[in-house]
Amino acid sequence: MKYLKALILVTFAVLLIYAAADLPFRGDPDNRMHDERSMTNTPVAGNYYIQEAYHDAHTPNIVTVVLGDYRSIDTFGEQVVIYTAGIITLLVLRRTRRRSS
Amino acid sequence: MRSQFDSPIIVLGARLLTPYIMVFGLYVIFHGHYSPGGGFQGGTLLAAAVLLIRVATGRRVSRLQIQEFATTPLAVIGVIIYFATGFAVMITGGYFLDYGQLPIPGMDPVWLRYTGILIIEVGIGLAVMAILVMIFDNMVKGEDYA
Amino acid sequence: MIWELELILYLFLVISGLVALKVRDLLVAVVMMSVYSFIMALLFVSMGAVDVGFTEAVIGAGVTGILFVVVVYQTTRKSKD
What pLDDT does residue B1 have? 47
- pTM here is 0.86
B37 vs C: CB within 8 A:
yes
Contact A86 B116 (CB under 8 A): no
Average pLDDT along chain C, 81 residues, taken 10 residues at a time: 88 93 91 94 90 91 88 81 67
Q: Do A86 and B32 touch (CB under 8 A)?
A: no
pLDDT of residue B4: 55
| Exposure string for A22-51, b = 16+ CB within 10 A, e = fewer | eeeeeeeeeeeeeeeeeeeeeeeeeeebee
Nearest-CA distance from C25 to chain A in Å? 24
The whole-number pLDDT of residue B131 equals: 94
pLDDT at residue B58 is higher than 90 = no
Domain ranges (residues) in chain B: 8-139
Model confidence over A49-87: pLDDT tens digits? Answer: 888 889 988 889 998 999 988 999 999 999 999 999 999
Rounded Cα distance, B145 and C9, in Å: 36
Name the DSSP class of B61. Answer: H
Asked if A56 and B110 come within 8 Å (Cβ–Cβ), the reply is: yes
Please judge whether B111 and A58 are an interchain contact, meaning their C-beta atoms are less than 8 angstroms apart. Answer: yes
Residue C67 to residue B140, Cβ atoms within 8 A: no
Task: Tell me the ipTM for this assembly.
Answer: 0.85
Residues of A in contact with C48 (CB under 8 A): 26-27
Q: What is the largest CA-CA distance in chain B?
A: 60
Q: Give CA–CA dist B65/C81, Å, rounded.
A: 41
In a mutational test of the B interface, the residue from C55, C58, C74, C75 whose CB has the highest number of chain B CBs within 10 Å is C58
Average pLDDT, chain A: 86
Burial C54-65 (b: 16+ CB within 10 A, else e): bbbbbbbbbbeb
A96 pLDDT band, cuts 50/70/90, is low
Greater confidence (C2 vs B119) lies with B119
